[in-house]
Amino acid sequence: MGKATIGDVASRAGVSKSTVSQFLNKRYQHMGQETRIKIEEAIKALDYRPNVLARGLKQKRTGAVGVIVANIMHRLSTEICRGIEDYCQEQNISVILCNSDEDEEKEKKYAEMLLTKQVDGIILLPTGKNGPLYESLAEQGYPILFMDRRVENVKADTIVVNNREAVTRAVDHLASLGHRSIALATGPLTISTRTERTEGFRAAMSVLGLDYEICNNIINAEISLLKDRFRKRLEGPEPPTALIAGNDLVLLEALAFVKEQGLRVPEDLALVAFDNIPFAHLLTPTLTTINQPSLEMGRKAAERLITRIRSEKAPDAAEFVFECELAVRESSGQAR
């Protein structure tokens, strides 16, 4: 038996091909329940599978979107991708996931691959190093969306968290516990997220009249260099009594350093960490975290991109800012 066609389904159900097409595209407004049941039964009986490629060509869509993350090892990236995939699955949209490893060449290669596959749009957690590529896609009106990181001078939808406010709340919390020498550690200032957290930290410390510059309490370094930087800072003058880790990977280096040095948390060093650390409540002591609504951000990204793809008149580029939550636990204890 040859592969069933839409005409075979229509003939068996006793309806027109256009009615079957409306059913397949979930346009049920003017379709009775009895007709829907007949078409469903015909599809099952004939084991009919729509020609997705042909439908995509006709609709000028492929029913797929691409997601390029800068580092899939970050818990935040994983949770954002889960939110994207959940929403896309509800909308019958396929997701192609790529990991650039913060490498602009890999990011560019993946973007070109996704464009070749004619995905309907792309969500990026960008490296920030492919300005001409981002600008070209935006200027062509191609649906793109930036997640977690802002990209300057590119008119595209962007979803971020309020980094400055989040770090301010962390600084205020530690200061209320008597901490005067507070440090912040992030990766290099190559992306907006780290820059905003560092700027927010400077502003919050200045408002409280606390020193951070003379004592070099801002550490922006590659992950592999962090433990050495922690060691030098804690052996220096007026060592910090509290540390804010800029993301989950920075936290892991801080925890390794604390263990190697035999330090006590929070007695010797209080800790607060950005990102949704899944084991925060299982550590001893439990870990104070700055939680980001990553699943909601992922769903919003997918919703916004799909709306743009399906709209006859695309909406103007917009920025959506989510607030973080400071989950206070034992690791940010009273200063000694």
At 151 the pLDDT is 95
pLDDT > 60? residue 224: yes
DSSP of 310-327, one letter per residue?
H-SSPPPP-EEEEPPEEE
Average of per-residue pLDDT across 287-316: 95
Q: What percent of the chain has pLDDT over 90?
A: 78
The residue with greater pLDDT, 318 or 23, is 318
Residue pair 331/271 in contact (Cβ under 8 Å)? The answer is yes
Q: What is the pLDDT of residues 76-117, one digit of tens each?
A: 999 999 999 999 999 999 999 999 999 999 999 999 999 988
In this prediction, residue 29 carries a pLDDT of: 79
User: Is residue 148 scored above 60 in pLDDT?
Assistant: yes
Helix (H) or strand (E) holding 97: strand 94-99
Give the pLDDT band of residue 59 (cuts 50, 70, 90).
low
Q: Give residue 2's pLDDT.
A: 53
The span from the CA of 240 to the CA of 263, in Å, is 13
Neighbouring C-alpha atoms within 13 Å toward the C-beta of 261: 18
* pLDDT exceeds 90 at position 300: yes
Tell me how many degrees the CA angle 322-323-329 measures, rounded to the nearest 5.
Answer: 140
Under a CB-based contact definition with an 8 Å cutoff, are residues 134 and 158 in contact?
A: no
Question: What per-residue confidence (pLDDT) applies to 54?
Answer: 52
Q: Which domains does the chain have, with CATH numbers?
A: 6-50 (1.10.260.40), 62-161+294-323 (3.40.50.2300), 163-292 (3.40.50.2300)
Confidence of residue 271 (pLDDT cuts 50, 70, 90): very high
Structure tokens at 307: 């709306």
Does residue 214 have a pLDDT over 70? no
CB 84 within 8 A of CB 90: no
- Report residue 53's pLDDT band, with 50, 70 and 90 as the boundaries: very low
Across all residues in the chain, what is the average pLDDT? Answer: 92
CA distance linking residue 96 with residue 116, whole number of Å: 13
With contact defined as beta carbons under 8 Å apart, do 123 and 66 qualify?
yes
Give dist(CA 268, CA 14) in Å, integer: 78
Q: What is the model's pLDDT at position 51?
A: 62
Average confidence (pLDDT) over 111-134: 94
Assess whether pLDDT exceeds 90 at residue 226.
Answer: yes
> Comparing 44-53, 63-72, 170-179, which segment has the lowest mean pLDDT?
44-53
Which residue carries 């997640």 as its tokens?
147
Give yes or no for residue 45 having a pLDDT over 60: yes
pLDDT above 70 covers a percentage of the chain that reads 96
Distance, CA of 273 to CA of 88 (rounded, Å): 30
Find the largest Cα–Cα distance for the chain: 85
Of 190, 113, 114, 162, the C-alpha closest to 274 is 162
